[in-house]
């Protein structure tokens, strides 16, 4: 043991160690396939050249690493492929993800391999509408770190400028209502009606409003093609959602707000009555139960489900300046509320707001929920509405309004729309509109306006400089002024000019 080198066994080990070389570095897994495909080579071709099976190559491109001699060959192939690709000086094409110039492609679709590159490519694209801007300034953002892969990098602005001449269209933000096939349905109906009535706008509008319900259902069907979930139209409905009599109501409390501030500080106040545009249209985006409602009790709240809940509401101590999110309920005790109301209450009980105690949930009828069930439908209507407002086309505006309003009001047990019997959805969408209005009132209050009155679906009366908080206009994110009136009198000295904080 004194001199190990004498022993031939150790020499063999030494030889073995000398033969074991550092494994060849390989590019990351996700690039291997791209490199092979950009050269137009099939797996079988590569496999034949390397003397392995095609599925082995497939394995290497999906996370396994080759070992031994063939690893060196594979690394050589990938390296050579990369060099060859770089020599080809690829023409950047618009990336399908962000629209920026991309040199890589996956399965024939040009795109960036890294989301960061998309962000980088999108950044210099922003100032494109300004044609006066000189080219070198177009990419003023200094790169925060050196590019790891110089060949896959976004090309320098001097090179992109000619390549981008066919302006790449961003996929996400298509012009409102143009390329969506659903929106064409709306446009076609309006055209037909106008043609039928020889341009008599009033008669055409009346006809369109009359056929709004079947048209809305047709639009919903068109919007559901390729959708992940079926619209289940006739599920079993628990008794609490059934009307007690033909004219009566069911047991659900929708939390419609009807609140007036008990008292304002002395002095005259100019109150602006604001109207929320398309409140029910925006409320179509809410967590809707997909299937049949199932009963459960005592399990707290599951965020992945939606439905109706029997709760004991928390006490509300902010009535002098903020409405109760439950609306003005006269009777105390437990009541059936819908998902949006419950979520609003839970939100207000959370650490961010801390306005009340969390409600106590006793039992629930819920089903797995999604917010996207009516999303395409809503977007199609919203885009059609926006486009019509821009084009000053009141016929389409009225038609779209009738479509969503009647869709919501007849989706329950109405005889005017027998295609859809979802009283639960009707309540949820209405409650969502009320919850949205409540959040707007809260925002006004937070920003220092005094909320004077919150009424119905879309009425919000405030004092103070509301233009600071809300934008005026006809879009769904904007508000319009319904009325301006004065309350109180100037008798109280000195306080008239300053509007007090709530």
Q: Which residues bind other proteins (CB under 8 A)?
A: 230, 232-236, 245-246, 291-292, 294-295, 415, 418-419, 421
Cβ contact 50:73 at 8 Å: yes
Q: Which is nearer to other proteins, 188 or 234 (CB)?
A: 234
Distance CA 457, CA 440 (A): 12
Q: Which is nearer to other proteins, 37 or 294 (CB)?
A: 294
Cβ contact 192:186 at 8 Å: no
Cβ contact 445:451 at 8 Å: yes
Cβ contact 194:394 at 8 Å: no
* Residue among 26, 59, 25, 54 at smallest CA distance from 41: 54
Is residue 295 classed as helix, strand or coil in its secondary structure?
Answer: strand
Least distance in angstroms from the C-beta of 291 to other proteins = 6
Least distance in angstroms from the C-beta of 302 to other proteins = 16
Q: Is the dihedral of CA 274, 279, 282, 283 positive or negative?
A: positive
Q: Which two tokens stand for residue 58?
A: 């497939």
Q: Which is nearer to other proteins, 191 or 230 (CB)?
A: 230
Least distance in angstroms from the C-beta of 306 to other proteins = 17
Least distance in angstroms from the C-beta of 236 to other proteins = 4
DSSP state of 225: T
Least distance in angstroms from the C-beta of 248 to other proteins = 11
Q: Which is nearer to other proteins, 60 or 421 (CB)?
A: 421
Distance CA 117, CA 443 (A): 37
Q: Which is nearer to other proteins, 413 or 478 (CB)?
A: 413
Q: Which is nearer to other proteins, 2 or 415 (CB)?
A: 415
Q: Which is nearer to other proteins, 123 or 222 (CB)?
A: 222
Distance CA 268, CA 485 (A): 10
The full DSSP string for 136-198 is GGG--SPPSS--S-TTTSPPPHHHHHHHT-SPPPPSSSPPTTTS-HHHHHHHHHHHHHHHHTT
Least distance in angstroms from the C-beta of 246 to other proteins = 5
Least distance in angstroms from the C-beta of 292 to other proteins = 5
């Amino acid at each position: 043991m004194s001199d190990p080198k004498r022993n031939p066994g150790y020499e063999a080990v030494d030889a073995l160690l000398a033969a074991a070389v550092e494994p060849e570095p390989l590019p990351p897994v996700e690039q291997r396939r791209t490199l092979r495909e950009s050269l137009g080579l099939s797996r079988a071709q590569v496999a034949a050249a390397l003397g392995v099976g095609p599925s082995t190559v497939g394995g290497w491109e999906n996370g396994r690493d080759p070992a031994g001699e063939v690893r060196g060959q594979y690394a050589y192939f990938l390296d050579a492929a990369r060099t060859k690709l770089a020599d080809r000086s690829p023409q950047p094409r618009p990336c399908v993800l962000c629209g920026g110039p991309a040199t890589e492609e996956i399965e024939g679709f040009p795109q960036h391999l890294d989301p960061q590159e998309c962000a980088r490519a999108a950044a210099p694209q922003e100032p494109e509408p300004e044609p006066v801007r000189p080219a070198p300034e177009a990419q003023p953002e200094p790169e925060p770190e050196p590019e790891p892969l110089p060949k896959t990098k976004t090309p320098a602005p001097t090179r992109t400028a000619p390549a981008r001449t066919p302006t790449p269209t961003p996929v996400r933000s298509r012009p409102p209502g143009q390329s969506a096939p659903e929106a064409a349905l709306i446009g076609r109906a309006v055209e037909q009606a106008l043609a039928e009535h020889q341009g008599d706008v009033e008669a055409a509008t009346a006809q369109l409003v009359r056929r709004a319900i079947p048209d809305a259902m047709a639009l919903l069907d068109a919007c559901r093609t390729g959708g992940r979930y079926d619209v289940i139209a006739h599920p079993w409905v628990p008794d609490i959602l059934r009307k007690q009599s033909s004219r009566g109501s069911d047991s659900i409390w929708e939390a419609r707000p009807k609140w007036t501030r008990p008292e304002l500080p002395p002095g005259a106040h100019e109150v602006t009555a604001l109207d929320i545009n398309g409140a029910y249209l925006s409320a179509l985006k809410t967590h809707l139960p997909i299937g049949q409602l199932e009963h459960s009790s005592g399990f707290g709240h599951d965020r992945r489900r939606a439905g109706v809940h029997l709760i004991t509401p928390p006490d509300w101590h902010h009535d002098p300046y903020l409405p109760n999110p439950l609306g003005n309920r006269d009777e105390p005790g437990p009541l059936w509320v819908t998902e949006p109301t419950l979520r609003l209450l839970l939100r207000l009980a959370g650490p961010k707001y801390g306005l009340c105690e969390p409600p106590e949930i006793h039992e629930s009828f819920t089903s797995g929920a999604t917010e996207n069930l009516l999303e395409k439908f809503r977007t199609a209507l919203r885009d059609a509405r926006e486009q019509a407002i821009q084009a000053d086309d009141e016929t389409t505006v009225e038609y779209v309004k009738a479509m969503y309003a009647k869709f919501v009001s007849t989706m329950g047990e109405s005889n005017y729309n027998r295609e859809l019997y979802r009283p639960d959805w009707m309540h949820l969408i209405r409650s969502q509109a009320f919850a949205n209005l409540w959040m707007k009132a809260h925002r006004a209050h937070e920003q220092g306006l005094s909320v004077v009155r919150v009424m119905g679906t879309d009425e919000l009366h405030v004092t103070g400089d509301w233009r600071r908080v809300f934008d005026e206009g006809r879009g769904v994110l904007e508000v319009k002024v319904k009325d301006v009136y004065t309350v109180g009198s100037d008798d109280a000295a000195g306080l008239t000019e300053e509007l007090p904080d709530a």
